[in-house]
Chain A
Amino acid sequence: MYEHPGNTTEQEKNLDNSIRIVKAESFEMKRCLDKGKTMDALKHALQMLNEMRTAELSPKFYYRLYMDSMHELQCLEVSLVQDFSSEPAKLVNLYECVQYASSIIPRLYLLVTIGGVFIKCGLGSRKEILKDLVEMCRGVQHPLRGLFLRNYLMQCTRSVLPDFPETEEMLDVHNSNLPKGATKLKPRDGTVEDTIEFVLINFAEMNKLWVRMQHQGPSKEREKREKDRLELRILVGTNLVRLAQLEALTEDMYVKDVLPSILEQIVSCRDPISQEYLMECVIQVFADDFHLATLNEFLAACAQLQTEVNIKILLIALVDRLALYTTSSIEGGAPTKMKLFEIFSEQATSLIKSRPEMPVDDIVALHVSLVSLAVKCYPDRLDYANLTFQGLRQVIEEKAITEIEAFGKVGRELTKLLNIPVDEYKNVLRLSELPEFIKVMRFFDYRGQCNISAYMIQNMLEEETILRTQENVDAAFELISPLLKDQENQPENSHDTEEFIDEQNLVARLLHLIRADNVDAQFLLLNGVRKVLGEGGRYRLRFTLPPIVFELYRLVLQFAEMKEEDEKWDAKIRKMFVCAMGTIGALVSSAELAELPLKLYLNGAITADRVPFEDNHTVVYEFVSKAMSIMEDDVSDSRDRVRCLQLTVGTLLKTTHLPHENWEPLAIQTVLAAGKMFKKPDQVRSLVTAAALYWHGQTLNTDGQKMRNGKKVVEILKRSAKIAKECLEPIVQQQLFIMLISAYTYYYEDKCPEINVDHIEELISLTQDNSVQLDVSAEADSLEKQLGEAIRRLQLAKLDVAAAQQTSPPEPDLPQPPNENEGL
């Protein structure tokens, strides 16, 4: 350790001083080399390397000093190799001289450098030199300095480590670059086993230095020391990189010697920082094949690590790496893949057992990796995925955990876990083949379960997962059941939340994915679904039942074309309407809604009117009358009532198949309802609307013509004009008058003979009188303009009517109703 860990500025200063000396000495060193004074050059090199003895620098600063010094040593090496390759024997002198250097750090750096030159020049036994060097380095037991020295050893020897046995051809390139007269390099001794031993020794020594570092120095600086240690970790890891780089390292050697030694070192050092880092290094630096061949060994070692080690990170790194490999490699076929899942699964289970204090989110995260492996690498092995969910369920049950918070630490992992098969299968129905999936899902709290259910529906909508059979529907409904009916763990106010509305809208959209192969089956599905949804409680029904009704109407229209194909056609269509009626009825009785079921009834009436099944008018009548009953009984707000009445009139105007005796009570009832509006202006407007029934309405008895009952129209208009006169508010009255003028003009234009132009003009003059008395306001202005428009329109209509009378044969004068003027 550096004994006086000064602040950064101080460190900079110390580093600058050292680097200045390194520059000066290396400059001298190179000058001596240029002059051929090798001994003097080495003396300067030793001076330069003295700086590496400093205790003033923290790891990152020391690393910078090391880099600069190493660069100079490289220059020295290149020069020495060049100078001595023709007469390598002279190197022995140098080596011996350097051995007399008094300080160990500079001496060992130089000896390592010269050792490298020996090997590069082919002098001596490569194997022995390497062995000597790695042993000599034991002389430095100071962690920081020792780690860097050994790192230098690894760097310096990298290109000369025995790998494949050397041959003359391998040295050809080297020899062809030698200057003239230089001795050609002969194949050198040593095998890859020697290298392995060399690196493993260095690795073990470095790890010991690194682990020991935490115990050196006062305990109050422990935190800082741990930070330093973490910075130094790459030096230790480099040894593993070196092993992984060996070309001649076979899988067999890795399995039998290399990995066991590494693991033994990692496990026995009993230091969590070292263990976690080195295990990850092993995963990262060695090839996938090697990992596949040693899964059991590696995972068994994981189980022996200190409890502070975050095993989750390691396993996930390994699983993710291998999952990627097995999915991407073509040859990663059956034999390699075969056991991968089983091994991971077993090891993960025993690991969780052996570590009772492992956090639950870590346990779930581990399963995320496992499920991901199972689902991505073994898409056909649903049992693997199921097994993983089962394993997790058992763990959670043992820990007696329930109601996992949706957005807590564990909940977030659980969400990830459950989303994997949804995303990967792209077919939510397949999840029903994972019975354990749903059990795990049930550990969530209410929100969590709803979230995952909604996620599944979204997936079904995106993937257009069609629900074709009862089994499909059951499977889907089972998965999303938290959205379909009230749950025990449901919070009180959950119906008022935005999430609830969004989710119910999703359920509604899901219902449109129900598509059986034929009409009968589709009807059965809808009928069945309706019953399930019916239990959803009033807050859900408003979202879930309307889609069923619309689906039924859609089915009716689809079936309408198939009259020839089914002898029970009439009865079946009737049944569909009965089913729709019952469904709408539930919206009234259970969901206590009014306007929505009213609209659905009216929609049904129009649908029934369009399909010519036997006695379809009875359905039309029933549906319209039910709609009107709702308006009478359940729509209390006056504006809502006006709107509902308009809808009813609109619907009646679209129906053409009611016999007159059925049409009339509906029309009478409508006019009655219009006249019974609470506010007078509403009465006026509604009556004007309802008047259209007697003009445009069609029944079975009108032979495809419109009703054109002008007498009735005028009667209703007169009634409303009378009411309008009773309104006290001048502006409102004025509005109503103008509306009435327009209505009269409309029927006059449409050649309603009962309309008398004089009445209209009378009404106009009344309105004009009124308008003078209105207070000045923007509204009054606007009404003035509207009145002008209405008058202009009447003038045009009069011209039209006059023109028509001239060209067409004269019609007999219609009798003027008596007392026409009274009403105005």
Chain B
Amino acid sequence: MSGTRKKALLKVIILGDSGVGKTSLMNQYVNRRFSNQYKATIGADFLTRDVNIDDRTVTLQIWDTAGQERFQSLGVAFYRGADCCVLAFDVTNAASFKSLDSWRDEFLIQASPRDPDHFPFVLLGNKVDLEAQRAVSSKRAQSWCQTKGNIPYYEVSAKEALNVEAAFLAIARDALARESQVR
């Protein structure tokens, strides 16, 4: 068996405040389903989905995490070995946007990636279907991304499956490109 045929396994972590829709984003991407009901996540859990990128099959291992600290009693060991970190916030909830800095810092401290300045982050602004209630403008999110070394920003809606597919595909592509650089 030749090495190139081997599937790559990419570990992606979704972080963000409680209620921004981390589980919904993962569910929409992996299962193409959405539920309006709020159910808290405990600890961390993943789902996988295979994607084809340039003739290569990549298994995305997407980690959904608890936004509430009390549901992380064992710490955040699941950050280890992540290939990409997806930061999520709710565009109708300004506080969830404000927390992004601390989520990013926390990740860099706990995961201690080899090259923290260039570790791939992606920012997802969820719930854009609720445009009328928007509290964080696209411009504001983009300028935050610029200050963090041009993090890619996607406005998505897990509910309407808007942009979710494209965002995760870009995430996979980016992480894969970096992985092959490292190896």
Q: Which residues of A contact B (CB under 8 A)?
A: 34-36, 59-60, 63-64, 66-68, 71, 74-75, 78-79, 82-83, 155, 158-159, 177, 230-235, 237-238, 240-241, 244-245, 247, 281, 284-289
Contact = CB atoms under 8 A, between A and B. Distances in A.
A68 B43 contact: no
Interface stretch (B2-10, B129-137, B146-154, B170-178): B2-10
Contacts of B73: 230-234
A66 B74 CA distance: 11
A71 B11 CA distance: 9
Given A71-B11, A238-B45, A285 B77 contact: no
B78 interface: yes
Nearest to A71: B81
Contacts of B43: 234-235, 237-238, 241
A238 B47 CA distance: 14
B118 interface: no
B33 interface: yes
Of the candidates A36, A67, A75, A231, the one having the most CB atoms from chain B within 10 angstroms of its own CB is A67
Contact of B50 (A75, A177, A232, A247): A177
Contact of B75 (A60, A74, A233): A60
A286 B42 contact: no
A289 B36 CA distance: 12
Interface string B56-80: 0101010000100001111101101
A286 to B, nearest CB: 7
A63 B74 contact: yes
A355 to B, nearest CB: 25
B27 to A, nearest CB: 9
Contact of B7 (A67, A68, A82, A289): A82
Contacts of B61: 74
Contacts of A79: 6-7
A397 to B, nearest CB: 37
Contacts of B47: 158-159
B93 interface: no
Nearest to B1: A36
A34 B75 contact: no
A287 B23 CA distance: 14
Contact of B9 (A34, A66, A74, A177): A74
B181 interface: no
A286 B77 CA distance: 26
A102 B74 CA distance: 30
Contact of A285 (B9, B11, B39, B78): B39
B31 to A, nearest CB: 8
A234 B1 contact: no
B96 interface: no
Contacts of B11: 71
A231 B75 CA distance: 8
A288 to B, nearest CB: 7
A235 B71 CA distance: 10
14 contacts: A34-B1, A36-B1, A60-B74, A63-B74, A74-B9, A78-B7, A78-B59, A230-B73, A231-B74, A234-B71, A235-B74, A241-B42, A284-B40, A289-B37
A233 to B, nearest CB: 6
A82 B78 CA distance: 25
B71 A237 contact: yes
Contacts of A232: 73-74
B38 to A, nearest CB: 7
A67 B78 contact: yes
Contacts of B119: none
B6 A68 contact: no
A417 B66 CA distance: 31
A82 to B, nearest CB: 6
Contacts of B80: 64, 67-68, 71
B103 interface: no
Interface in B66-114: 66, 71-75, 77-78, 80-81
Nearest to B41: A241
Of the candidates A64, A158, A281, A284, the one having the most CB atoms from chain B within 10 angstroms of its own CB is A284
A244 B75 contact: no
Given A34-B3, A78-B59, A82-B7, A238 B77 contact: no
B143 interface: no
Given A63-B75, A83-B1, A237-B43, 12 more contacts: A60-B74, A63-B77, A78-B9, A155-B46, A177-B52, A234-B66, A234-B71, A241-B45, A245-B39, A285-B40, A285-B42, A287-B37
A771 to B, nearest CB: 72
Contacts of A34: 1, 3, 6
Interface string B1-36: 101001101010000000000000000000001010
B62 to A, nearest CB: 11
Contacts of B48: 159
Nearest to B57: A177
Contacts of A83: 1
A563 B46 CA distance: 84
